Each structure stands twice: as C-alpha cells, then as structure tokens.
Amino acid sequence: MGAVIPLSDASRRPRSWPGATVLIIVVNAFVFFQELVGGNAFVARWAAVPAVISSGHSWVTIFTAMFLHGGWMHIIGNMVFLWAFGPEMEDVMGHVRYVVFYLLGGVIAMLAQVAAAPLSTVPCIGASGAIAAVMGAFIVTYPRDRIKSLLIILIFIRITFIPAALLIGIWFLIQLFNAGAVANVQSGGVAYLAHVGGFVFGVATARLWRRKPAWG
C-alpha cells in the first residue's frame, strides 16, 4: 500500500498571505465541529442527495454539502490538498475571485454528480469537488511547478518533489477510472464524478479568473 500526499508548491510562494484559503479551511473546520455536535441529523439535513435534488427539493444542499465531511481523515485529507494548491491560485485570482471560483467549482461538482446519478439516495458530501476545481486551475497555470509531497510506501516514508502535471494528471486519471463509484465515508460519500466535474470546470475556466498573468 502506498500514498502520495501533496504538501506545498516548492517552485514558488504566494506574494500575499492566503487569507481566503485560510478562511475556507476555518469554515470547513467550524462546520465539522457542528457535525460532531449535531450528529447524523445535522449531516442528513445538509448533505446533497441526488434523488431528493432531482425531485426539486433541498437545492440548498448543493451548496452546503461541500462543507460537510464524513470523518477526521476525510476533512484532514481535503484540507491538506487545498493548502497544497490553494494559496498559489488565490494569489493569481485575488481573494474575492478565488472564493467565488472555489464555491462555484463546488456547486458544479455536485451538479455533475446529480446529473450522472439522479436517482441515487447516497448522500454526497465533502469539499473534494471544489478542491478538484482548484487543482484543475493549478495544472493549467503552473504545470511545470514541483510539488513537495509526502511519499508513503508501506513503512517507507520520505519527502519528494513531483511535477504538478504528473501528480495532478495521475490523480485525475484515477478519478476517471473510478467514475461512477462512490468513495464511502462514515455518513455517505463523495462521488468521483463530482471530482471530475470540478476538475474540468477548473481546467476550462482557469484563465478567465486570473486578475493578472501567471508568472514563472
């Protein structure tokens, strides 16, 4: 068993403090705390269920679901990925545009899953779709950057540097391979098609959100 965990962009540092990325992480942490307090009832109320949305109900959950997570590993993993790629994209887009891009990416990701499985009763939760949009924008903007990553193979652990195009590209191919399957978590799951939808949105619109040309 092995894993690659991206930590940060080793090729550049953002020119300004990534306040919007930090805010998104804080909001996700706050909502997760509310989940711990409210339990399954809280998750059931705000999770996106494709069958319910397709019937014309609970449309707000397309938005709220992106702030829910199924457990500690789910939220920690998502926030680590966001921190690895978010600050640089925030620097390119500007704080406000970046937040709008992130939220829109999350909504489109959820809509992609609803469209793909409109009769599914499995709750879809997590920030993965929005983060996939950030990763899609990153691979378009900085494909040659090296990503500082934690490589884990059984008991072998080391820090390595992987080109963004390779790391994100392989990640996306995995999502395509698993498209249609659901990554189960404690209280539901996030569909791989949501990842694909968010990523494609990020790739397709990345250049439209820049407030200035990317450098390097």
Q: Which residue has the higher pLDDT, 180 or 126?
A: 126
Query: In which domain, by residue range, is 31 found?
Result: 2-209
Establish if 117 belongs to a structural domain. Answer: yes
Total count of domains within the chain: 1
What's the mean pLDDT when you consider all of the chain? 90
Three-state DSSP at 100 gives helix
> Any idea what the Cα angle at residue 27 is, between residues 22 and 33, rounded to 5°?
125
The DSSP annotation for 38-54 comes to HHHHHHHHHSB-HHHHH
Model pLDDT for residues 9-25, shown as the tens digit of each residue: 999 999 999 999 999 99
Q: Regarding predicted confidence, which is higher, 101 or 181?
A: 101
Instruction: Tell whether 189 is covered by a domain.
Output: yes
Domain-embedded: residue 216? no
Contact between 198 and 130 under an 8 Å Cβ cutoff? The reply is yes
Write the pLDDT tens digit of every residue in 86-129.
Answer: 999 999 999 999 999 999 999 999 999 999 889 989 899 999 99
**pLDDT tens, residue by residue, 144-172:** 999 999 999 888 899 999 999 999 999 99
Locus of tokens 């269920």: 49
Helices (H) and strands (E) in the chain, counts: 8, 5
- Identify the CA nearest to 172 among candidates 196, 150, 147: 196
**141 part of a folded domain:** yes
Residue 180: pLDDT band (50, 70, 90) is very low
pTM summary value: 0.90
Q: Does residue 160 form part of some domain? A: yes
User: Any idea what the CATH number is for the domain that residue 120 is in?
Assistant: 1.20.1540.10
> Is residue 215 situated within a structural domain?
no
Report which residue type is found at 180.
Answer: G
The H or E element that residue 173 is part of is helix 164-177
Tell me, yes or no, whether 30 lies in a domain. Answer: yes
Judge whether residue 35 has pLDDT over 70: yes
Is 133's pLDDT higher than 90?
Answer: yes
Q: Is 177 among the domain residues? A: yes
Question: What is the dihedral sign for C-alpha 185, 182, 81, 129?
Answer: negative
Share of the chain above pLDDT 70, in %: 91
